Amino acid sequence: MRIRVYQLVMAVFLMSTIQFMTLNKVSASSNDIASYAAKFYGTPYKFGGTTPKGFDCSGYIRYVFNEFNINLPRTSADQFKVGTSISKEDLMPGDLVFFKNTYKKGISHTGIYLGDNEFISAKSRGVLKANLKTDPYWAPKYAGAKRVANITKVAFDPVQVKSDEKMSEVFSDLSVEHPAVEAIIALNAIGVIKGYEDSTFKPEKTITRGQAAAMINRELKLKATTEVTFTDVAPDHQYAADIAALNEAGILQGYATGDFGINDKLTRAHLAAIVDRAFDLQEKIAGNVQVASNYNDVPSNHWASESIHALKTLDQTTVFQSKNFSIAKEATRAEFSAAVYSAISGR
């Protein structure tokens, strides 16, 4: 699940002073897009790859469409949310074709239609072609198509922002140099995490288990089939429905004592584990183990080691790019933002 196009545009807008904004129509023909996409046939697969040196699935799609000034979301699932739905009979070269239940449930792969039932996409063996009707793997997984070549988009030209300026337009205490600034602004734009009434964000303030449940569920939108039953969570508590939903889903569960620990501070180890359970971080890095993503202070036998490893690998900020992870340290609002943002906007 990645942040939608207009939300990312809003995030960029809030992160910098906009010099001017104009609306323009994308004029590229569908055949131009298909022809350009086909030029990368045989390009090797690279986890997280977004250039002709190596592509992953959605990185390839974005690279091709960026050539025509069409900015698409980073994941297949979110790419499926934009554009106009097209039936298989009405497919034209340049349309996006989508597939479900590949490496995970739901929309999980995108390709570009070339014509004559053929599409091209970045697969584990590189950028290759396949047939929508006859390929034994892809044909049964076809999920639909979208046409995005005529989307109206916002073009913007941000001016340079000095490094010592504050995010006065959004949060008075958030510097543009903060490593989690993009994550914080983007998640605030879609209502996952909010600031305070005094226009501050308090990036170093800690997160409680109750707050974590509420904020994660603002993205997941899960609903429990039963009411919350924890001794420290009143049925009418503002987080009760979110806590019940995440507990039932096995994402953030209560204690054996019958308490949820609603006011307990979230540690960095628990943050990694919870975000992993909520957004399948380990699935996203399957088959792409990177030794560089290990930490000096996280033993391989630690209960959250795999989640911590996955979080560092998928980190879209620089928040988790350090030699030590500090397992027991209480997680901050900035770290929470960086983890969730990386999870929903990562590969």
pLDDT per residue of the chain (347 residues) written in tens, 0 to 9:
444 433 443 444 444 333 323 233 334 567 889 999 999 999 998 877 889 999 988 889 999 998 888 888 888 888 999 989 999 999 999 999 999 988 778 898 999 999 999 999 998 788 999 999 988 889 999 999 999 875 333 332 322 333 333 343 578 898 888 999 888 988 888 889 999 988 899 999 999 999 999 999 998 999 999 887 899 999 999 999 999 999 999 999 999 999 999 999 999 999 999 999 999 988 877 755 454 568 999 999 999 999 999 999 888 889 999 999 999 999 999 999 999 998 887 54
Q: Residue 190 has what pLDDT? A: 82
Q: Residue 62 has what pLDDT? A: 92
Domain locations in the chain? 22-154, 181-345
As a 3-state breakdown, the chain gives helix, strand, coil percent values, each rounded to 5, of 30, 20, 50
Are the C-beta atoms of 331 and 206 separated by less than 8 Å?
yes
Q: Which residue reads 């209560």 in tokens?
A: 254
Q: Residue 105 has what pLDDT? A: 84
Q: Residue 332 has what pLDDT? A: 98
Q: Which residue reads 């986890």 in tokens?
A: 47
Q: Residue 293 has what pLDDT? A: 62
Domain 22-154 has CATH 3.80.30.20: no
Instruction: Give the Cα separation of 320 and 299 in Å (integer).
Output: 17
Q: Which residue reads 């994941």 in tokens?
A: 75
Q: How far, in whole angstroms, is CA 182 from its chain's centroid?
A: 13
Q: Residue 287 has what pLDDT? A: 55
Q: Residue 233 has what pLDDT? A: 95
Q: Which residue reads 């027991």 in tokens?
A: 328
229: left (phi over 0), alpha (psi -120 to 50) or beta: alpha
What does the radius of gyration of the chain's CA atoms come to, in whole angstroms? 21
Other C-beta atoms within 10 Å of 289: how many? 12
